[in-house]
Amino acid sequence: MSVTRNLVSIYLPTRNRGDRLPHAVESALAQTYEAIELVVVDDASSDGTAEYLGRRAKVDPRLKVIRNPSARGGAAARNIGIMNAQGEFVTGLDDDDEFLPDRIELFVKTWNRLTAAGVTPSCLFAQELWTKNGVPVRVTRKRPVVTACDMFEENCVGNQIFAPRRHFIAAGLFDETLPAWQDFEFFMRVIQAFGPAYLVDKPTYSYDATPRGDRISEQPGKIRQAFEMMAAKHAGDDAARLRALFLLIFQGSYRIPPRPADWVRFLSWRGRPTGVTRLLRATVANRLRRVWPS
């Protein structure tokens, strides 16, 4: 597929989020940078999403709609959007989140500034505004440059990146077999393949952190399964990488309490005192909400 220079493609997977989807769509189409296309992949919604998108696409030709006849999952929907994108650059948006108006403009300006200075990033990412029930609760404080080694400590990037479409394709797109951590694992591969990622140090993405019960991050069994798959793909027998990835299971946002078997496993990798301290804190704090894996 040929790409259009200066055009930015935004992929947006959706399924049965008709109440939130219009906010996401409008935030993308209202960008100060006008050379965009919005590729919405409707993953077999049954709540009126198709009808809404059909009406909206008639008003704005920048909106391209692709409908899956049967549900294939979020990672597959993202990949379909990317493969059908025609822009030189690609970024994503979740159907329950929103772009702030200057997000794409800042990404393009930052990319041009860095490349003019002789720096070619693997991708760009930005600070996020987190909300709960529509009320702002925090602004992220991400580090300015993220390397592949950093990504073993945590997902330092967040849930979206901005990069040339060719970087998405060459890195292999999202792993559709992963039950969780699809974004995290894909961004890791992009940075491994193309070098450090660089920050746009301004909140340009509104992330809805309202607990709903249907988020993958609220399903401990899938988190644990994703670790096993990530470890096999990226850690091998490297004890340091295994420890780092393992500790991500118990980060505060998941509130998954370590079990005795988790302690045995972690100590078998000869965890450093700092790692043992983190696991101990998770054991104490996360038991307040005893979330056990399925």
Q: Domain limits of the chain? A: 4-208, 216-289
- pLDDT-derived band at 3 (thresholds 50, 70, 90) equals confident
Nearest to 95 by CA among 212, 251, 203: 212
**Per-residue pLDDT, 218:** 66
Average pLDDT over residues 52-68: 97
Choose the weakest-confidence range: 27-31, 107-111, 227-231, 267-271: 267-271
Cα-based angle 173, 176, 178 (whole degrees, multiple of 5) = 115
Predicted TM-score (pTM) of the model is 0.92
Instruction: Note the pLDDT tens digit of each residue in 196-205.
Output: 999 999 999 9
In this predicted structure, the answer to whether residue 216 has a pLDDT above a threshold of 80 is no
Residues 6+ apart with CB under 8 A from 18: 45, 47, 48, 49, 52
At the second CATH level, the architecture of 4-208 is: Alpha-Beta Complex (3.90)
Residue 8 pLDDT > 80, yes or no? yes
Q: What is the dihedral of CA 166, 168, 169, 173, to 10 degrees?
A: 180
Pairing between β-strand 197-208 and β-strand 87-92 as defined by DSSP bridges: unpaired
pLDDT at 228: 97
DSSP letter for each residue of the chain: ---EEEEEEEEEEESS-TTTHHHHHHHHHT-SS--EEEEEEE-S--SSHHHHHHHHHHH-TTEEEEE-SS---HHHHHHHHHHT--EEEEEE--TT-EE-TTHHHHHHHHHHHHHHTT---SEEEEEEEEEETTEEEEE----SEE-TTGGGT---S-S--EEEHHHHHHTT---TT-SS-HHHHHHHHHHHHH--EEEEEEEEEEEE----S-SGGG-HHHHHHHHHHHHHHHTTT-HHHHHHHHHHTT-TTT-PPPPHHHHHHHHHTT--HHHHHHHHHHHHHHGGG-----
Residue 266 in this model has a pLDDT that exceeds 70: yes
At 155, the pLDDT band (50, 70, 90 cuts) reads very high
pLDDT at 223: 95
174-201 average pLDDT score: 97
Q: Report d(CA 9, CA 164) in Å as an integer.
A: 10
**Which of 108-122, 247-261, 274-288 has the highest mean predicted lDDT (pLDDT)?**
108-122
Task: Give the model confidence (pLDDT) of 66-101 as tens digits.
Answer: 999 999 999 999 999 999 999 999 999 999 999 999
Tell me the per-residue pLDDT of 124-152, one tens digit each, with 9 for 90 and over.
999 999 999 989 999 999 999 999 999 99
> Can you give the pLDDT at residue 213?
57
Q: What is the pLDDT of residue 289?
A: 52
Higher pLDDT residue, 250 or 274? 250
Structure tokens at 239: 């004890």
Least confident of 36-50, 51-65, 209-223, 245-259: 209-223
What is the pLDDT at residue 210? 87
